[in-house]
Amino acid sequence: MQINKENNTLLALILFSGALIFSSIINNLLLHFSKNLGTRKKDGLQIRWNSTSKPALGGISFYFIFLISFISMMFVFDKNNYFTAINNLGILATLSIAFLMGLADDAYDTKPLIKFLAQFMCAIILILTGTKINCFGNELCSYTITILWIIGLMNSINMLDNMDAITSIVAAGIMLFISILTLTNEHFFAPISILTIAMLGSIIGFLFFNWYPSKMFMGDTGSQFLGAFLAIIGINYCWNATVLMNIDITLLNSWQNQIKGFLVVICVFIMPLSDTFIVVINRMLSGKSPFIGGKDHTTHHLFYKGLSEKKIAVLFLILTLIGSYIGYLIIIDKQWSVIKFLLFSIYPISVFTFLFSVTRKKRIT
C-alpha cells in the first residue's frame, strides 16, 4: 500500500494519540485493580530506590498496545504477505517471550539463569528470522554481536529501571528519535517504524503514572519487553541505519558504515549503556558482584549530589535527546571521515566521563 508523503505525519500523529489515550485508560484500569495483583512487597528480593509498595503492572499496557498495533497492521498491509513475512513473526515471538519472561519474574522472582536463557532465545529467534547486525560481511561476527547486543540491552534497560520515570523517559527519547528518522527519510510506512510510533504513545501514556511521585512501576514485565523492543529498533535504525535507510549507497557493507552504526548506537543509547557500564565497573572495583542489585546507579549518585528525582529524569531525557540528535547527524552525513568520527565521539565520551566521575566522588552527608 502506498501513502503520500504529506500524509505520513498526520498518520503518525493519529497513531501516537490513539496509543497514548489507550495507554492512559489501560494503566488507569490496572491501577484500580491492583490492590494485590502485581504489587511488590517491601521485603522482596528486588532492591528498588523507592521502598514504597506499588503495583508493577505498567509492562502489561506496553504489550497489550503492541499486540493490538501488530494485529491491526494486517488491515494496512497485505495480510498474506504481512503474516508470512518471517521477520515480522520473529519480532512478535521475541517480544512475546520477553513479556512472558518479565511477567513470570514479577510474579515469582525467577532465577537469573532462566532469564538469561529466555534472553538468549530472543536473540536466536531474531537472528533466524533475519533481524541481525550487519558486521563487515562476516556472519559469525554479525551473530555474535547481535546476541551480545540483545542480551546486553535487555539487562541494561532492566538495570536502568531504578528510579521513577527514568527508563520510561529514556525509552521515549529513543523512540522519538526513531520516529523522526523514519518520517524525515521516507521510511515511515514499514511495520517496525509504525510499531515504534504506537509504543511511543504507550510510553507517554504510562509516564502519567510513572512520573515522580509514581503511582506504579513497569516491573520486569515492562523493562524486559522494552529492552527487547529497543534492541530491535536499535538494530534496524542505528546499527544498520545506512543500509536500511539507503542514505548513502556508497558506504554499504564498508568499514565506514560499520563505524557509523557503532557510533550512532553509542550516542542514541548513551544513558542505558553508560549506567550499566559504570555500575558494573564500580562494583567490580569494590569487589562486589555486578549481578547483585543496589542503590549505586548513576541516578542514585546524582540524587546524593543534590538533584531531585524530577531533575534527574529531565537530565536523562535531555542527554538522550542530544545523543539522538548527534546520531541523526551521523546517519545523514554523506561525507564521513576520521575527523568527524573523533568530533562526534566527544559527546558520548564526555557524558560517560561525567557520570563516572560523579559515582566515584564521596556522597554528600
Q: What are 142-159's pLDDT values in tens digits?
A: 999 999 999 999 999 999
Q: Does any domain span residue 45? A: no
What's the pLDDT at 82?
A: 66
**What's the Cα-to-Cα distance from 293 to each of 31, 45, 74, rounded to whole Å?**
26, 9, 42
d(CA 108, CA 102): 10
Confidence class of residue 45 from pLDDT cuts 50, 70 and 90? very low
**Given the C-alpha cell 548513502, which residue does it identify?**
248
Decide: 90 and 133 in contact? Cβ < 8 Å: no
Residue 228: pLDDT over 90 = yes
Tell me if the pTM is above 0.85: yes
Percentage, residues of the chain above pLDDT 90: 59
CA–CA distance, 316 with 295 (Å, rounded to integer): 17
Residue 48: inside a domain: no
Q: If you average pLDDT over every residue of the chain, what do you get?
A: 86
Closest CA to 28 of 203, 205, 164: 205
**Using H for helix, E for strand and C for coil, what is the string for the chain?**
CCCCHHHHHHHHHHHHHHHHHHHHHHHHHHHHCCCCCCECCCCCCCCCCCCCCCEECHHHHHHHHHHHHHHHHHHCCCHHHHHHCHHHHHHHHHHHHHHHHHHHHHHHCCCHHHHHHHHHHHHHHHHHCCCCCCCCCCHHHHHHHHHHHHHHHHHHHHHHCCCCCHHHHHHHHHHHHHHHHHHHCCCCCCHHHHHHHHHHHHHHHHHHHHCCCCCCECHHHHHHHHHHHHHHHHHHHHHCHHHHHCCCHHHCCCHHHHHHHHHHHHHHCHHHHHHHHHHHHHHHHCCCCCCCCCCCCHHHHHHHCCCCHHHHHHHHHHHHHHHHHHHHHHHHCCCCCHHHHHHHHHHHHHHHHHHHHHHHCCCCC
What phi and psi, each to the nearest 5 degrees, are found at residue 165? 75, -5
Decide if 255 is inside a domain.
Answer: yes
Quick one: pLDDT at residue 269?
A: 98
Identify any residues that bridge with 39 across adjacent strands, giving them in sequence order.
55
Whether residue 78 is predicted with pLDDT greater than 70 in this model: the reply is: no
Containing structural domain, residue 166: 5-33+54-360
Nearest to 351 by CA among 265, 284, 275: 275
42 part of a folded domain: no
Q: What percent of the chain has pLDDT over 70?
A: 84
Backbone angles phi, psi at 182, to 5 degrees: -70, -35
Q: Which of 46-50, 132-136, 277-281 has the lowest mean pLDDT?
A: 46-50
Q: Is residue 39 part of a domain?
A: no
In a domain, 192, yes or no: yes
Maximal C-alpha separation, the chain: 63
Task: Report how many domains make up the chain.
Answer: 1
Q: Give the per-residue pLDDT at 35.
A: 56
CA dihedral over 328, 330, 335, 339, signed as positive or negative: positive
Residue 2 has pLDDT above 70, yes or no: no
The reply to whether 43 falls in a domain is no
- Cell 506499588 maps to which residue? 54
Please provide residue 364's backbone torsions phi and psi, each rounded to the nearest 5 degrees. Answer: -80, 125
Residue 81 forms part of a structural domain = yes
